[in-house]
Structure 1
Amino acid sequence: MSDAVPSRWELLQFARRVAAQQGRASREQLDRWIVKEECQAAERRRGEESWTTPPEWLVEHRLSRRNVAAVPAGDCWTIRKSGRCVPVSRPQALEALRQQIRACAQCRPDTLLGFLE
C-alpha cells in the first residue's frame, strides 16, 4: 500500500472523471423525464381525440338489465363508468319517467325535460 499523496494534476483528473460521470447520469435522468413527458402528452392527445360528447339522456340499470334504477342526464357527475347506463333519446327518457322510474336527484332530468307528474 502506498501512502503517497496524489498530485494536484491527479486530483484534477479525478474531479474531471467524477464530473463527467455525474453529467452523464444527469443527462440520462433528463432523457427519462423527457420520454415520460412525451408519453403523457401523447396519451392526453389520444384521450382528447377519442373524447366524444356525452349522450343527452341516460337510463341507469341495476345489476340486472331488466331493473331500471334511474334516469340521469348524460352529463350527470354522479354517473360512474360502471357500464350500467345506456344512452336514450328524449322520448325514451320521458317514457321512463312516466313509468315511475325515479329521476336522478342531483341533475334533476325531470325538470330539464319539463316533466311534471
Structure 2
Amino acid sequence: MFDDLPPDLERLEVLRTWHVMWVERIDAKMARLREREAQQARVAAATEERAPDWLIEYGLNRDAIPNAVHTGDCTMAGKRSKGVDSNTARRALAGGVAACTFCRPDTELGILEG
C-alpha cells in the first residue's frame, strides 16, 4: 500500500502531533465561521422588515400627492410608495385616490365602487 511514511516511531509521532494540531486549528476556524454565520442570520432575521399590508404611491411633484393605493405585495407599486395601515388605505380610497387595477386593494379592503 502507501509506505511513504517515516519508518521510525519517533518521526511518526511528530507527524501525528503536527496533524492533530492542524485539525484542531481547522476545527476552531470552522466553529468561528459557523458562529459568525449564525450571528449574521440572527441579525438578518431581527432587522428584516415585514412587508406592509398596504401601500400608497405618491406622484413626482414636490407636494407628493397620493395617486394610487396598492396591496403590500403588488408588483406594480412604484418606488415612491410608502407602507400604511388598512385605515389609512381606506381613507385614501374614500378620499378619491385611485385603486390599483392590478392588485385591487379596494376589493381586498371591502370597499365597493359606486
What is the TM-score when the length of structure 2 is the normalising length? 0.59
Q: Which runs of 5+ in 1 are unaligned?
A: 1-6
Q: CA RMSD in A?
A: 3.6
Residues 116 and 34 of structure 1: CA distance in aligned 2, closer, same or farther (over 3 Å):
same
2: CA distance between counterparts of 1:72 and 1:115?
13
Residues 72 and 16 of structure 1: CA distance in aligned 2, closer, same or farther (over 3 Å):
farther
Residues 72 and 18 of structure 1: CA distance in aligned 2, closer, same or farther (over 3 Å):
farther
> Contact 1:61–1:67 at 8 Å: present in 2 too?
yes
> Contact 1:97–1:103 at 8 Å: present in 2 too?
no
User: Following TM superposition, by how much is the alpha carbon of 1:64 offset from its aligned partner in structure 2, in angstroms?
Assistant: 6.2
Corresponding residue for 1:110? 106
1:57 to 51, 54, 58: 54
Matched, 1:8 2:7: yes
Q: Residue type matched to 2:7 in 1? A: R
Percent of matched pairs sharing the same residue: 25
Corresponding residue for 2:83? 87
> Contact 1:62–1:84 at 8 Å: present in 2 too?
yes
Q: Which runs of 5+ in 2 are unaligned?
A: 1-5
Corresponding residue for 1:3? none
2:25 to 28, 39, 43: 28
> Contact 1:70–1:103 at 8 Å: present in 2 too?
yes
Q: Say which SS state the counterpart of residue 72 (structure 1) adopts.
A: strand
What is the TM-score when the length of structure 1 is the normalising length? 0.58
2: CA distance between counterparts of 1:70 and 1:104?
10
